[in-house]
Amino acid sequence: MASSLVFVSRPSLPRTQFLNLLELAVAAHLIPEVSEESIKTSQDRLVTKLHLPDSERSELQDDASSFLDSQVSAGNISYSDVCLAVVPDEISDAKQLLLLMDVDSTLIKQEVIELLAAHAGREAEVASVTEAAMRGELDFAQSLIQRVATLKNLPDSVLQEVGQRIIFSDGAPSLVKRFHEAGHKVAVVSGGFQQILDPLAATLGLDHALANTLGITDGILDGTVHGEIVDRTMKETKLRQWSEEHQIPLAATIAAGDGANDLSMVSASGLGIAFNAKPALRDQADVRLDFGRLDVIADLVLDDLS
């Protein structure tokens, strides 16, 4: 099926630099001639969508990746200057989409387990384990059990304290708002904690939100995780379950994350996005988004820009 090639600039990239990149894409026969009128503005970003009806997705994906790699190597652009995505018509033409996102370092800027561990004086230790898990070097479930054990005997009041310190990723509220206004569904699934996630999900009005549940006994964290751990496999399972629940084809789903724990859901979705991601995910995803605006996802797949 046909696809569109979408260019989105980082915030405040000079228009001349964006135009130069498009001209280079024309010269490389990646896209046909483009006009100034085809460039739209999304806040302080520039967006161009070109529908290529005769394209084959995998070939276009390879050509686009090779083009961007060559331009970065030539010093004409950096990966953090532009997001170049191949968006299949199954996404563009869908009546309803499902967007599923990771939470820590995707929907929000922090890793919650590290914020909690700081209260136990174990932040550096836990951060190193988190990094290794996100790179795919450790089994996620085992690493989570190990990290949660460091929280034993903390009062459950730390959950509220940490919750007040959470910062949404730039553009996260706008992304959810734009998807909902267009009639789509937005969900999150997290290797973090339900007690932290619930208020965030309520603030954004998310359609679904699932994370791990910390064990609490008499107002004290007991250092355990209750119930089935939300790992890489569970994330893919929830993508499939929620898409079926809303009668949304898997080809009309979008998944975004930053680490190895997100790889299965990103690979299974109709459009997988690596958001400022570790190489374990970045090198496998359909889309590489290397600047910190989460609402670029809406720029890529929605037709709501004037």
State the catalytic residues.
102, 104
φ/ψ bin of 101: left (φ > 0), alpha (ψ from -120 to 50), beta (otherwise): beta
Pair of tokens at residue 30: 């990646």
Burial 255-289 (b: 16+ CB within 10 A, else e): bbbbbbbbbbbbebbbbbbbbbbbebbbeebbbbb
Specify whether the CB–CB gap between 62 and 149 falls below 8 A.
no
Specify whether the CB–CB gap between 48 and 20 falls below 8 A.
no
Cβ neighbour number for residue 197 with a 10 Å cutoff: 25
Measure the CA–CA gap between 291 and 9, rounded to whole angstroms. Answer: 9
Q: DSSP string spanning 119-163?
A: HTT-HHHHHHHHHHHHTTSS-HHHHHHHHHHTTTT-BTHHHHHHH
Q: What are the distances in angstroms from CA 288 to CA 130, 146, 220, 266, 275?
A: 22, 31, 41, 12, 7
